[in-house]
Amino acid sequence: MDLVKLLKHLENTDAVALAQPTDRRSLLRGVGAKAAALTLPLLAGGMAGKVSAQTTTTPSVTTTLNYLLELEYFEYNFFRTANSTGGLIPSGDQAGFTNIENHEKEHITYLSNLVASLGGTAFLPNNYTGNPYCPAAYDFTAGGQFPIYTAGNYFLFLDLAQALQDLVVRAYIGALDNLTSNMSVTTSILQLLSVEGRHAAHARLVRRYSGTAPEYPKPWVTNNISINYYPNTVFQPYYNGEDNVTQLGIDVTTLTGLAGTTISQTAATESFDEPLDQTTVLNLISGFILP
């Protein structure tokens, strides 16, 4: 992502946009982590009118928004299916994942209306029948590779929830460059990104305290540490590149931090979620999508 270009655009936006951080450490700073994970800082109403008032919209904007809409359908159906599977999610964890499901459905509505307001045709999943919940479009077991809907596999569901949410965060960041020709759209997507970051943080925290996550994940990604799942490499492609320590051409580990010592690789990698391009993201989820 061209951060210089993005920051140049952000200089001209209002304080509300600038208050939407894109890294999880900022999102969670100063508030309880679980509370932040369950907060929706997006007022879905009223945005589309502001966005449609832009004078210039390139085709790449609606194309990119449809890509993000495709991911929102994917996420919503994943969590809706899990929440609807009796006995899968313990009662104490149900509320958090139900909130995430509801947020993803709101994102579908918002992005669909936004694409339409910009003169585009909103994405619809395969086998769509008029309802955002379209289980005929997806197989979240990936042909049986992830038997998350059978008894006793809640922790496998958590593994997949974390991997998919981390992936969506990287996808949103990777999409930002294609949207900066329209500042109102960029502002809206930054707000959606902040929500997705909190969803990812929530999934990671539930795994952390489940007692079944050997890597004991923080709310944000550390280096390129994947999920300790057998086979252990299955989720590694979701995290490749997250060990990057160079930002704007500067090796962050050569800088001196507030403590007077050089910044560690761990701290450097935890401070940034790295972008992923559309082709890579869609390839990673392709095994879950039915023809």
Q: pLDDT tens across 245-276, in order?
A: 999 999 999 999 888 999 999 999 999 999 99
Q: State how many domains the chain has.
A: 1
Residue 270 lies in a domain: no
Residue 272 lies in a domain: no
Residue 156 lies in a domain: yes
**Rounded Cα gap, residues 95 and 90, in angstroms:** 10
Residue 14 lies in a domain: yes
Q: What is the largest CA-CA distance in the chain?
A: 59
Residue 93 lies in a domain: yes
Task: Write down the pLDDT at residue 150.
Answer: 81
Mean pLDDT by 10 residues, the chain (291 residues): 41 37 45 33 35 49 97 98 94 96 98 96 96 97 91 91 98 95 95 97 96 91 88 88 95 92 94 95 97 96
Q: What is the CATH number of the domain that holds 217?
A: 1.10.620
**Rounded Cα gap, residues 36 and 28, in angstroms:** 6
CA angle 145, 146, 148 (to 5 degrees): 150
Residue 258 lies in a domain: no
Residue 9 lies in a domain: yes
Task: Write down the pLDDT at residue 23.
Answer: 54
Task: Write down the pLDDT at residue 48.
Answer: 40
Structural domain for 100, as ranges? 3-243+277-288
Task: Write down the pLDDT at residue 24.
Answer: 53
Task: Write down the pLDDT at residue 235.
Answer: 93
Residue 255 lies in a domain: no
Give the global pTM.
Answer: 0.82
Q: What residues contact residue 19 under an 8 Å CB cut-off, 6+ apart?
A: none
